[in-house]
Amino acid sequence: MINSQGKRVVVTGLGAITPIGNTLTEYWEGLLSGRNGIAPITLFDSSRHACQFAGEVKGFDPHKYLERKEAKRMDRFSQFAVAASKEALKDAQLVINDLNSQQVGVVIGTGIGGLKVLEDQQEILLTKGPDRCSPFMIPMMIANMAAGLTAIHTGAKGPNSCTVTACASGANAIGDALRLIQLGYAQAMICGGTEAAVTSLSVAGFAAARALSFRNHDPAHASRPFDRDRDGFVLGEGAGILILEELQHALSRGARIYAEIVGYGMTCDAYHMTSPVPGGQGAAIAMQLAIEDAHLTPEQVSYINAHGTSTTANDVTETAAIKKALGEYAYKVAISSTKSMTGHLLGGSGGIEAVASVMAVANDRIPPTINLENPDPACDLDYVPHHSRAQKVDVALSNSFGFGGHNVTLVFKKYSQ
């Protein structure tokens, strides 16, 4: 157990750039209404690909947040991170200045980083020669640049790092930010995940691994977590950012508090590069550790935002893990996968799903799992199918699992003095 020195940490700001909305309000309303963000790919010509659809961010204008010259020197994943971070800071009404800049840090995770830049520059190398490659290729491509550029564009001079744990990256970033505040290294943190991997090479690679859905005739129903007819995940893109603050710091400036972040658990399956360990023991222990870290019991959990990828391996394994972690109470807790609407944002998923979990706590509303038409008999829990649910949400867990066996669970709780 971490020695948190009694420091409490709260969520005071949220930002989201997603396939179903580019503001917090749009995203949350989209989740509650069951909006589907999956459609044919427009970012590149996918006609030769086995999978031809994704959850693309639509109508995103980087120039709303960045000067044209600056935006041109960033990969899309960094643009998303800076945009969502600025939205979150605005939402928190947190102004970073010379007096507090050393006490505000950034941890932003990504699973892949600037893949589109790498693809483009490889094409230039092959067709025009090495002398034509961009001098900005490396800083545009490397994974840490989302965190670095966010600091540059917000003035946050405190702790700064990047988590790269595949699809657990965003959740790890939030958990690590929690620890930095608890241990006194910062008073506030900008944290979450970002990804922009809807590219030709990425889609080809995931398709070759048989990880993606190939439902090209019906993209809107392709992401169907816990459904018997699921055939793979749907790639998505975007960013989700949280502003975490030490409680007294937030109270001293009169900040609005969405929720308190009270638990962080992480484990590794140490089993396989891409497959979860059968039975979900690693994921179950991550949930148990997070609940213990929060000083709660399983029976106090109201809602679980599941990793819920719509893959054969994950959905059955996560269901088993929830049963191991919660026991018989697993059948009484509400669970949903918002990936049914957004697709899978890889390293960005932990970010936008933490945002969804916080909003569920703040608003006592649970987003649905859409497209759950024929439940898998092995997935027999309450996945809140089709429609959102009005229900008191005192405690929410957010699960994120990644290739390499990474398991992360975050716990959010209603704030009370």
Q: Of 153, 162, 249, 344, which is the active-site residue?
A: 344
Q: How far apart are CA 383 and CA 164, in angstroms?
A: 29
**Checking phi first, is residue 208 left (phi over 0); if not, alpha (psi -120 to 50) or beta?**
alpha
Catalytic residue status for 221: no
Question: Residue 304's closest CA among 356, 371, 352?
Answer: 356
**Which residues have CB under 8 Å from 397's CB, separation 6+?**
287, 290, 291, 301, 303, 304, 305, 357, 409, 410, 411
Q: Find the catalytic residue in 153, 249, 307, 406.
A: 307
Rounded CA-CA distance 95/155 in Å is 10
Q: Which stretch of DSSP H or E encloses residue 406? A: strand 406-413
Look at the chain and count its residues: 417
Is residue 228 within 8 A of residue 319, CB to CB? The reply is no
| Residue in 51, 153, 162, 167 annotated catalytic | 167
Check residue 17 and report its DSSP letter.
E
| Integer CA distances (angstroms), 259 to 12, 56, 212, 250, in order | 8, 29, 34, 12
Clarify whether 344 is annotated catalytic. Answer: yes
Alpha carbon distance 323, 255 (integer Å): 37
| Contact partners, residue 143, CB within 8 Å, separation at least 6 | 110, 112, 113, 114, 162, 164
End-to-end CA distance of the chain: 23
Residue at 367: amino acid letter: P
Query: Smallest Cα–Cα separation from 303: which of 345, 241, 358?
Result: 358
CB 216 within 8 A of CB 46: no
Buried b (16+ CB within 10 A) or exposed e, 363-384: eebbbbbbbbeeebeebebbbb
Residues designated as active site: 167, 307, 344
